[in-house]
Amino acid sequence: MDYRDRHVVVTGGTGALGTAVVGALAEAGATCHVPYIVTAEAERFALRSHAKVKLVECRSLSEETDVAWLYGTVSQLWASVHLVGGFAMAPVVETGKADLMKQVDMNFVTAFLCCRAAVKAMDGRGGRIVNVAARPALELRSGAGMVAYAASKAAVVALTVALAEEVAKLDILVNAVAPSIMDTPANRAAMPKADHAAWPKVEEVAATIGFLASPENKVTRGAIVPVYGKS
């Protein structure tokens, strides 16, 4: 993949999957704009000194004005990859409105606002957008016990498919990946007895995202790509 002279926004870029995505894109020549909210995130980000990585302090990705400001700092945007989000597991009777809205804000609202800002920033030049859904958003019964999370990620699926149809004529291809549980240190610590070898590696998921966001992807749009590994 050749990303030379192309600018890419990667939200959630300081996380485990984000680090893999940013590393792969930067290696392919992209200039990666990585927003962060907490200073400690930037300080521990392994790629903070990379010549192709630009860390951008941002107050919020669920507020319209903050997202507009972020995308206004990027010239000639080619792709926008939306990894930021959150997970919460709880029975529905223990999930209040505040818990629900937190999941909606973190997973759906951030994706919607970043998609909107990206389409504006691409300004008729074409480009690529990649969202992150989740396995429970495709296999809805598996969302039992995490209904708010599953519903917010299902909204990301609907956003992706509908937007892909809306902006196809602008040469903007919109897709999403739907990971199962990924092999990260945090997930291993949370589930020490699980079959970690079956989980998809973040580098493998990053490779799929890298293709969908690349100029080499000329025809795929509206896809929700399962990245389950062997799990």
Is residue 218 a contact partner of residue 3, using CB atoms and an 8 Å limit?
Answer: no
Domain boundaries, the chain: 7-227
Superfamily of the domain at 7-227? NAD(P)-binding Rossmann-like Domain (3.40.50.720)
pLDDT in tens, 76-126: 999 999 999 999 999 999 999 999 999 999 999 999 999 999 999 999 999
pTM summary value: 0.96
Catalytically annotated residue among 3, 36, 71, 149: 149
Mean pLDDT, the chain, whole residue set: 97
Is residue 229 a contact partner of residue 178, using CB atoms and an 8 Å limit?
Answer: no
* pLDDT tier, 16 (very low <50, low <70, confident <90, very high otherwise): very high
pLDDT in tens, 45-88: 999 999 999 999 999 999 999 999 999 999 999 999 999 999 99
Spatial distance between the Cα atoms of 229 and 117, rounded to a whole number of angstroms: 32
Please confirm, yes or no, whether 149 is among the known catalytic residues. Answer: yes
Spatial distance between the Cα atoms of 51 and 34, rounded to a whole number of angstroms: 13
